[in-house]
A and B are shown apart, each in its own frame.
Chain A
Amino acid sequence: MEIVRPQSHRNLFSSNDAVSVPSLPLYRSAPPLEVRLEDFESFAIDRLRVLKGISDGLSRGKKPEEMEKLVKELWKVNMRHQHASEVLNKDIISHFVLRLVYCRTEDLRKWFLSMECALFRYRFRFLTPEAQRAVMDNFDLTCRAVNNVEFESIKEKLGQVARSMGQPSPTVDAIFYKVPFEEVPELVAGRKVFISQGYAYVAMNQVVSLVATLFRSQLSKTLILTNRVAINCCRKWTSSIREQEKHRLTPIVEALSSSYLGPDFSQPREYAEISLKDIDQVAKSSFPLCMRHLFDKLKEDHHLKHGGRMQLGLFLKGVGLNLEDALAFWRAEFSKKVGLEKFEKDYSYNIRHNYGKEGKRTDYTPYSCQKIISSTPGAGDQHGCPYRHFSEENLRAALSRMGVNSRAMEDVMDKVRNRHYQLACTLTFEALHGMTCDAGINHPNQYFSDSQKILQPKKDSSAQNLVTARE
């Protein structure tokens, strides 16, 4: 890909036969196109809007059908082009620009990878069967269809799997693909396929997840490669571009990559320095349910398992509890149960570790809602998202302890039943604070700071800053 000045714009694809170009590109190699500088940026920003929209949708717990609608809409609005022939170019160019931008760190790669894959997945669904088959051919899938003899021998098992998901048993003309189980981790994890001797039998209607995985591993490899090729990327990749463009592109790329995801709450913001004596009081007034629950359990049992310690500990760090106070806080509770010596021996390390004072000295960031919702607490664990992981009965009890009235409670439970856990939390917030929360709750520390903002209205001006920072 070559970046050129506007006047020399030329389109290589337009000379190609339009039919031969797949409508869903696999982005296997950078296109031999010349790109106008303003397109370089504007295409990338348009695609970024799509990816951010997907990210927001997912973190709000939208259901697959809703996501499908959302993606269709996002794509239509952002990725159109006044010339129909340019649409595909825009798709490809924007992808490669963002790939350059997002290959630079592990976190950026991870985010980009999962959003691109989500996008790919939905776009694959929108394709006609013929177009789908073309994509599958590209991944050499068609030759791995199960033949009739084999189908007969495992028909019963395939039927069992289908019925376990509430679908009818497959008929004779159903097509199954036999692939190494490693290629369909998502289907394996959900026990949605029959697995035998290392092979998973993927039904035609599940092919999307197979294709998505193949796409993902291809993209993941090239992302790392992109980064390696451009060692210390943020400076060096530009050397592959004409010298005179360097100063114009570098800021674009850097601005693009920082405009993702929102704040990570690793540094406590305007209400920094919560002191130990206030903590009981703010826990009551401003902790979201997940943290309030952990906090109460800790006070009650003087103990939390690892997952709970991490979730609450990092949250408290984000709230502004400094290391000394954090140690004092955990020590006070744990020593009641395990004794002081055991606490110093076994637990204090972990707390210092969270604050980046031990081990590889990473300053860990507080968990976001998405991370908490997707955690898998087991027996004896108290962490996780109460809206997702509590039984209805326990959740109701917990909410009423918090002071949620019965009318609001029903609204909250309604969201929970529809698996909108963050919306349920948002409604709880609104019920308790008597104010609307338009941004929605995306992070426990955001819940906390929004709550403090309402409860301590004097600090209005700095609160304003936070809102703009999040936008």
Chain B
Amino acid sequence: MDFQVGIVSEGVEDVSVISDCVMVGIFSKLEWEETDWPQGLDIQGEIFFLSSCHHTCTSSLYSFFIHFSSCKSSSIFIQMIPQQESDFDHNYLKPYYGKLFPFADIFKWMTYGHDGKHPGCDQSYFGRREFSFTLKGDFYLRFQSFNNALELENSIKEKCPLKIDIGPVYTVDPAKRHAYAQGDNNVFAPVERELIFDIDMTDYDDVRYCCRGADVCLNCWPLMTIAIKVIDTSLRDDFGFKHILWVYSGRRGVHCWVCDGKARRLTNEQRASIADYYRVYKGNENSHKKVSLMGAALHPFLATSYTNVLKDYFEKILLTSQNLLATEERYEKILSMIPDESIASELRGKWQDSRRSSSAKEDINVVRWEQCKQLLQSGKHKAQGLRRCVEEIVFFFTYPRLDMEVSKHMNHLLKAPFCVHPKTGRVCVPIDPNQCDEFDPTTVPTLFQLLEELNNEGLRADVNGEWNGTSLGNAITLFRSSFLEPLQKACKEEIERSYNLKLQQSKNSVGW
């Protein structure tokens, strides 16, 4: 094996943060995003590694396992299990696209009812949608377009992209954009695009202590659950959207597609306004106070999010699972958010004195949080700045952090559902927002698992497609029943309505 693992002792402290979480992925040092790489850990070659012994991997797809344990001490136990091959691109994606990828469903979705069956359909609609492929070796193919489901399917099967992105619907066929781009007046412009949101765990690195960067575990995943709940509820109740698809991004985050006709036709400015509506974080790395909630009351959206979601998740889950107040470094972070120095130092005094006066059974985080709340909310501190302080702390640790730029512009690309994440091998499956609490990113079907299931199934032909016998079945059923079918119904109705309206108008204009 021409494979080396070297661990530099200075790096051990950094490695400790990943000690009790599950890290799954095929990584080579070069493919790691620079911030994700634990400092001092020097690994060359392509590896697939897990930490923590609670997880077993059934994959024979990847080259190696590395097992971290007790990283807090300077000894790191590494186990390498050599496997056969690592080249998953073509050998494994081919059968996936060949037998499992739900082309018909993606096509039905992307036509939004313009399938040619109704006289009011816009036949060119699907053909004006941009698809973009990432091929092996980091080749990007942008502005791909297809006239029908078969073209899309054939192209994907032939090119076998590592990643498929979906872009906007343009005024004209994006593949022929150059033909239209003559003269100063470029008519090539996006006209429709789902309102999209991208929430990525890396943006939460300052509020989670279990993992960093690209890693997620069941201790920090609730942050994504919170984001889904808060945003989904507001999109439906506040903005009145109905056709919302949540998708696991395959590694460390979630994507959201809002597909109502009204949402698809929003201008960039309107998209930005929705993104800003969800923004509570101010400032960047250089200003420590990141949430500031002013005024005598919270906006109804923030108030509802706080009472229905944030508060409970903070107090019942994150406080203890992330040990938010367990060490001096961590509680100092919270104390620094209290504007009143005397209260902060009173609490500091209590906590430094770590004789556990209260019953040792109670979790230290909970005890300290109660003390903090009590002091901040007690009658004598009615000052305006302090009233919001408890909420500000909770918001800071729980409130969704959106990648604003993705939502603000029509022409942002977003990875298609049911792609396979090239580094984890996990399929980007839909998440049911009503049951997002149950979603577990670590048990999402992986490419290899699916192919194995497919092999075991044998050649049992199935009308509904091969995926029926695999663990992808549930995901596709969910996609259809909770998203695609209601969406198609609404789209057909909308086409019918506007068609009748047009008929009516032309009748009126003719009927002199």
Interface residues of A (CB under 8 A from B): 105, 157, 159-161, 163-166, 181-182, 185-186, 188-191, 194-199, 227-228, 231-232, 293, 303, 337-339, 341-342, 345, 376-384, 386, 389-391, 393-395, 398
Contacts and interface: CB of A to CB of B under 8 A. Distances in A.
B58 interface: no
B288 A164 contact: no
A164 B239 contact: no
B183 A232 contact: yes
Interface stretch (B164-172, B217-225, B300-308): B300-308
A378 B297 contact: no
Interface of B: 29-30, 34-35, 138, 183-185, 202-203, 205-206, 237-241, 262, 266-267, 269-270, 272-274, 276-277, 279, 281, 283-290, 294-303, 401, 403-404
Contact of A379 (B206, B267, B277): B206
A57 to B, nearest CB: 22
Given A182-B270, A188-B276, A198-B240, A160 B287 contact: no
A163 B283 CA distance: 24
Contact of A161 (B34, B35, B239, B300): B300
Given A164-B296, A191-B301, A389-B286, A338 B34 contact: yes
B239 A181 contact: yes
Contact of A164 (B185, B284, B298): B298
10 contacts: A182-B266, A188-B270, A195-B238, A196-B238, A196-B240, A228-B185, A342-B34, A379-B285, A380-B205, A383-B284
A389 B287 contact: yes
A382 B284 contact: yes
A67 B287 CA distance: 28
Given A160-B298, A165-B295, A391 B34 contact: no
B404 to A, nearest CB: 6
A164 B299 contact: yes
Contacts of A394: 286-288
Given A165-B295, A231-B185, A380-B203, A342 B30 contact: yes
Contacts of A377: 283-285
A293 B290 CA distance: 20
B382 to A, nearest CB: 16
Nearest to B203: A379
Contacts of B296: 163-164, 166
Nearest to A180: B262
Nearest to B202: A380
Contacts of A198: 239-241, 262
Contacts of A195: 238-239, 277, 301
A377 B295 CA distance: 24
Nearest to A376: B404
A338 B31 CA distance: 9
Contacts of B287: 389-391, 394
Contacts of B295: 163-166
A391 B206 CA distance: 17
Nearest to A227: B185
Given A188-B277, A228-B185, A337-B34, A160 B297 contact: yes
A381 B401 CA distance: 14
A362 to B, nearest CB: 12
A226 B152 CA distance: 39
Contact of B286 (A105, A181, A386): A386
A378 B185 contact: no
A381 B270 contact: no
A303 B269 contact: no
B300 A379 contact: no
Given A185-B272, A189-B273, A377-B283, 9 more contacts: A166-B295, A185-B270, A188-B276, A189-B276, A195-B277, A198-B241, A376-B404, A386-B286, A394-B288
Given A379-B285, A382-B286, A394-B286, A339 B30 contact: yes
B204 to A, nearest CB: 8
A232 B286 contact: no
A182 B241 CA distance: 13
A105 B404 CA distance: 27
A391 B285 CA distance: 10
B260 to A, nearest CB: 9
Given A378-B203, A380-B203, A391 B286 contact: yes
A340 B465 CA distance: 45
A345 B286 contact: no
Contacts of A181: 238-239, 273
A356 to B, nearest CB: 17
Nearest to B140: A349
Nearest to B236: A197
Contacts of B184: 105, 232
B290 A379 contact: yes
Nearest to B239: A198
B396 to A, nearest CB: 11
Nearest to A194: B300
A189 B284 contact: no
A159 B299 CA distance: 9
A379 B239 CA distance: 27
Contacts of A161: 297, 299-300
B439 to A, nearest CB: 24
Given A197-B240, A389-B283, A390-B286, A164 B277 contact: no
